[in-house]
Structure 1
Amino acid sequence: MTRSGQEYLASLRDGREIWLDGERVADVTAHPAFRNTAASLARLYDLAHDSAHTPVLTQGGVHRAFAVPRSHQDLVARREAYKVWAEASFGFLGRTPDCMAGAAAGFAALPQLFRTGGHDGSAAALAYHRRLAEGDLYPVFTLTNPQIDRTRAASEQEEDDLVLRVVAEKDGGIVVRGAKMTGTAAVFGNEVIVGTIEPLPAQDADHAVCFSVPVDTPGLKFVSRTSYEGRARSVFDNPLSSRFDENDALLVADDVFVPWERVLVYRNTDAAFGMWWRTPAYLNFVHQAATRFWTKLEFLTGVAILVTRANNTHDLPPVTQAVGRLLGHVAQAKAFVLAAEASYEEVDGGRGGVAPGRDISYAQRIMAGELYPRALQEIKLLTGGGIIQLPASGQDLLHPEIGPLVRKYIRSPGTPAEERVKLLKLAWDALGSEFASRHEQYERFYHGAPHVYLTQQAWEGGADACEALARTCLDGYGLEGAR
């Protein structure tokens, strides 16, 4: 059964080792750097547990993201659930619990991939999916190696514990040591799955491991980046960063023991890579991410429209055209989601259900990474200098001496100062703040570096069909056409 928001918050008070600004955080649900975002995540659980959205978000008492879709209709139903949660944070919480839940369903759709010569992780993969779904747990992940020397393989780094690897075997499991980076939302999760999503050479077998353990596992440390929530002055002044900063953390494993029943892949470079790319796991990632991206563009475009109305410029032809371009971007993002669903493919001949279409899903990665910064630039041009010349905080509006000045000079026809300041502070938090800069970088690299996803699109994006069509044209005539 699904959990309530309070039950989710209670699950975070488990003694997990989170570090921020040289301080170990005792309770992420109470700490000023994390508590508001934790509350926003708890609201997602409440929406699924008991709200008007429960029928959309759940099926048989389980969140729809955990279900293995069997038809196009199932994909649509899952997307509708994704959309409800995405709208609750206006698209700014990216790695919500439904993200990795979809990947876990992808593992369950093709468990035989986890059977290798040295280790059979199929039971662990199925148990992982079942444990998450039945417990309504928040699964997070860290899959990226630290950026130390990118010219060397993991096993060739200057120290042997820079990239997480297996250092020992025991009767009941393995011991791992090292680090993984960019654990987005990891501090808010219940279980963290650790693996690698990039191809590894054969000599990196010690690093070709994937497992999932509770976030409070002894020896696991999470070193948080700067908290934008912690720096936010108020919800009025920082309406997004104060409530939707999902954070990113460096995971460090200090001789962490992992029981065998939690090891999905062990010392097999093909399986460590294939578990993401040959099961529907990554396609399910994209389905959730693409739905969220579409929602985020809807929100940003809505902010742009509100700003143009507040500036009394909405009906000027150049502004109308700019808004039209933004709405075109929204439709483009929506089209990728619907097209991926409509071009679904069977998994394992249908025995593993269906997954969103591969070529459209992969192409969405290109579109999103390139479109987001362009959309931000277009909206910034519409907002102009207004988002810079703002009072330091909402307190200025309440001050007996400064308040009247702000109300007099920071207003526009039909938009009083308080409403205008509130809107422009929202726009700044979305477009120009440090929080906004993180989101621009996040969307650029959400699906990896461009050289990775562009190359993969060239390999798997239907090049043969394009080439064959062009070849058909060439084969249809010869030199006789020169007469």
Structure 2
Amino acid sequence: MPEPRTPLAFNSPHYQSALHMHAAQGVHDAASLRRSLQDEREVWYDGQRVDVLRHPAFAGVLDTLCELYELQAHGPDSAQMCWTSPESGQRLSLSYLAPSTPQQLSAKIANSHLWMRHSHGQLPRIPDFMANVVVGLYDYRQELAAVQPQFGANAERYYRYCREHDIVLTHAIGDPQIDRSASLAEHPDYALRVVERRSDGVVVRGAKQLATLAPYCHEVLVYLSPAFFMRESPQYVIWFALPVATPGLRLMCREAQSPNATGFRHDLSARYDEQDAMLFFDDVFVPNERIFLLDDSATAARGFPRLSAWALMAGQVRYYHRLRTFLGVASLAAQSIGVDQFREVADMLGELTSYVELMRLALQGLEQGARRTSSGLLAPGVTLAMDAFAAQTTTRVAHMLRVICGSGLVMQPSEADLRNPVLRPLLERYMCGKDVSVAFKSRLFRLAAELVSERFGMRQELYEMWNRGDVVRNRMALYASYPERAEIEAQVRALLQRGTDALEGANP
């Protein structure tokens, strides 16, 4: 066992630079993850600055993350979640593997399945996701170096730093929803920008939104949303990474989705409400070695899909496991009230099963359709069709579960009701299910309610609709870039030409 990690002071070189590799100890476990979060991060919740390690609003997800990292470090699947560093000899997370062979890509995808299965597909920004974005940044290093050699070198060093220290990241790519019809020339603070250029770095000012998982992360990676590539000025084009505990960086978290009311189980929101945050950059200094791109919007536009290549695959793996969770809950709920053989209900269960199976087959296709990148890595196939599919089906899936469960989503006894000796006999008689106890049925329907009718489920559904980008833009991009389109059109043209030739031959 390695020696325990020492808490990183704010002025530690680990926080001040991405260049230092000394004291790297590989994968985190539960204890080292908690210790690594003992820093001077400025996190605000409900108007108060809080300690993420001690505030009850953050306890559930922190415990869940610790469980996942414990599984990675010491669990029964640890050998399938780790690999050995070629530089330090430490055990590293497979989330950070940059695959160059089909075997490595398969191992990497299998690792994503383990992360997502253990969290039931309920953590959209699970650490495996952003680790894969850093792999994408590393893959794009040559194009960054073409803009400025230091940018490419920074990307490579940062990748090695993150993988050797098992860094947990969030990303911030969205601009605040202020007035998106306004001109940045008239309102320069509507997007994050460089306000000072120095010999040792730059100073940035502005805000970024929906930095999911941010309170629990070591670092934030900032780059441009695809909707805002073409900036009006180079000062708005910058890619960089910073420690969450950086002076001038403030995190304001939204209200927790887990209800404060007592007496009811909230198994999902209590464990998987991963938090979203607004990031305020109040004239924050970014050292040169942490800048990956500056001023060049064209390189940013080309680079966005490259950064996302492996992360989008991980996201689709997660959606597959989320659909499996929906199928399991819907199936058990239908059985518990004896409606699983009703034609309409069985049809919906079959439709939900078809979505699960389509996702399974599509994931296999992404792996089989792997492509070689310009840096020599092996990336999964393009996910645009699956991105659109997920955005289209998420509302339908939630609707079906609502229909199957009906009023059971509303009327269920609390834990205190179940323990009450006066009420329990009545509950067992009038609120039990088919071959299941009232305790099992009530908890099952509470789980369903969290998925589709409570705040946690509403946030998750909204996330599924938009996190992969605008579904219309994704469909347009799919059509425009579809490699088989030319061949398909040629086949149809040939068919039409036969008819045209026949018509012209009949009319000399």
Fold shared by both chains (TM-score > 0.5): yes
- Mapped to 2, the partners of 1:133 and 1:233 lie a distance apart of 41
Instruction: Tell me the residue number matched to 2:406.
Output: 384
Instruction: Tell me the residue number matched to 1:208.
Output: 237
Instruction: Tell me the residue number matched to 1:432.
Output: 453
Per-residue deviation, 1:232 = 6.2
- Mapped to 2, the partners of 1:472 and 1:204 lie a distance apart of 48
Instruction: Tell me the residue number matched to 1:91.
Output: 121
Residue of 22, 28, 32 corresponding to 1:3: 28
1:355-370 mapped onto 2 (5 Å cutoff): 355-358=379-382, 361-370=383-392
**TM-score of the two chains, using structure 2 as the length reference:** 0.89
SS in 2 for 1:193: strand
- Mapped to 2, the partners of 1:455 and 1:287 lie a distance apart of 20
- Mapped to 1, the partners of 2:277 and 2:231 lie a distance apart of 28
SS in 1 for 2:239: strand
- Mapped to 1, the partners of 2:136 and 2:262 lie a distance apart of 41
What percentage of aligned pairs have identical amino acids? 28
- Mapped to 1, the partners of 2:71 and 2:261 lie a distance apart of 26
- Mapped to 2, the partners of 1:251 and 1:341 lie a distance apart of 35
Counterpart code for 2:32? E
**TM-score of the two chains, using structure 1 as the length reference:** 0.93
Deviation string, structure 1 residues 242-276 (Cα, Å, up to 9, x no partner): 11001111111001011100000111112222332
Instruction: Tell me the residue number matched to 2:368.
Output: 342
Instruction: Tell me the residue number matched to 2:294.
Output: 266
1:93–1:246 CA contact under 8 A, matched in 2: yes
Residue of 334, 337, 342 corresponding to 1:311: 337
Deviation string, structure 1 residues 120-165 (Cα, Å, up to 9, x no partner): 3101111111111000010110001112222245x33x43223111
- Structure 1 residues 202 and 249, CA gap change in structure 2 (3 angstroms): closer
Instruction: Tell me the residue number matched to 2:472.
Output: 451
Per-residue deviation, 1:334 = 1.4
- Mapped to 1, the partners of 2:64 and 2:243 lie a distance apart of 21
Instruction: Tell me the residue number matched to 1:172.
Output: 200
- Mapped to 2, the partners of 1:39 and 1:453 lie a distance apart of 36
Residue of 159, 165, 188 corresponding to 1:160: 188
- Structure 1 residues 480 and 144, CA gap change in structure 2 (3 angstroms): same
1:119–1:266 CA contact under 8 A, matched in 2: no
Residue ranges of structure 1 left out of the alignment (5+ in a row): none
Residue of 483, 488, 499 corresponding to 1:466: 488
Residue of 390, 397, 413 corresponding to 2:434: 413
- Structure 1 residues 427 and 173, CA gap change in structure 2 (3 angstroms): same
Residue of 262, 284, 300 corresponding to 2:326: 300
- Mapped to 2, the partners of 1:417 and 1:202 lie a distance apart of 58
Instruction: Tell me the residue number matched to 2:310.
Output: 284
Instruction: Tell me the residue number matched to 1:67.
Output: 97
Per-residue deviation, 1:423 = 0.8
2:170–2:221 CA contact under 8 A, matched in 1: yes
- Mapped to 2, the partners of 1:191 and 1:477 lie a distance apart of 63
Instruction: Tell me the residue number matched to 1:395.
Output: 416
Per-residue deviation, 1:403 = 3.4
SS in 2 for 1:472: helix
SS in 2 for 1:146: coil
Counterpart code for 1:340? L
Per-residue deviation, 1:116 = 4.4
Per-residue deviation, 1:118 = 5.6
Structure 1 ranges of 4+ moved more than 6 A:
none
- Structure 1 residues 202 and 419, CA gap change in structure 2 (3 angstroms): closer
Deviation string, structure 1 residues 297-325 (Cα, Å, up to 9, x no partner): 00110001111111122233333222111
Instruction: Tell me the residue number matched to 2:169.
Output: 139
Counterpart code for 2:362? F
Deviation string, structure 1 residues 415-473 (Cα, Å, up to 9, x no partner): 11111111111111111111100111100001112232222222223333432332232
Per-residue deviation, 1:233 = 3.9
Per-residue deviation, 1:399 = 2.2
- Structure 1 residues 14 and 169, CA gap change in structure 2 (3 angstroms): same
- Mapped to 2, the partners of 1:377 and 1:92 lie a distance apart of 18
Counterpart code for 1:213? L
- Mapped to 2, the partners of 1:274 and 1:231 lie a distance apart of 45
Per-residue deviation, 1:400 = 3.2
Residue of 215, 219, 225 corresponding to 1:191: 219
- Mapped to 1, the partners of 2:384 and 2:189 lie a distance apart of 33
Instruction: Tell me the residue number matched to 1:127.
Output: 157
Give the number of equivalent residue pairs.
472
- Mapped to 1, the partners of 2:493 and 2:440 lie a distance apart of 60
Counterpart code for 2:108? R
SS in 2 for 1:44: helix
Q: Does the alignment pair 1:248 with 2:248?
A: no
| More displaced stretch, 8-17 vs 206-215 | 8-17
- Mapped to 2, the partners of 1:233 and 1:81 lie a distance apart of 37
SS in 1 for 2:272: coil
- Mapped to 2, the partners of 1:172 and 1:265 lie a distance apart of 15
Residue ranges of structure 2 left out of the alignment (5+ in a row): 1-25, 85-90
| More displaced stretch, 393-402 vs 297-306 | 393-402
SS in 2 for 1:229: coil
- Mapped to 2, the partners of 1:332 and 1:28 lie a distance apart of 39
Per-residue deviation, 1:329 = 0.7
| More displaced stretch, 114-123 vs 248-257 | 114-123
- Mapped to 2, the partners of 1:299 and 1:164 lie a distance apart of 38
- Structure 1 residues 233 and 170, CA gap change in structure 2 (3 angstroms): farther
Instruction: Tell me the residue number matched to 2:9.
Output: none
- Mapped to 2, the partners of 1:163 and 1:408 lie a distance apart of 60
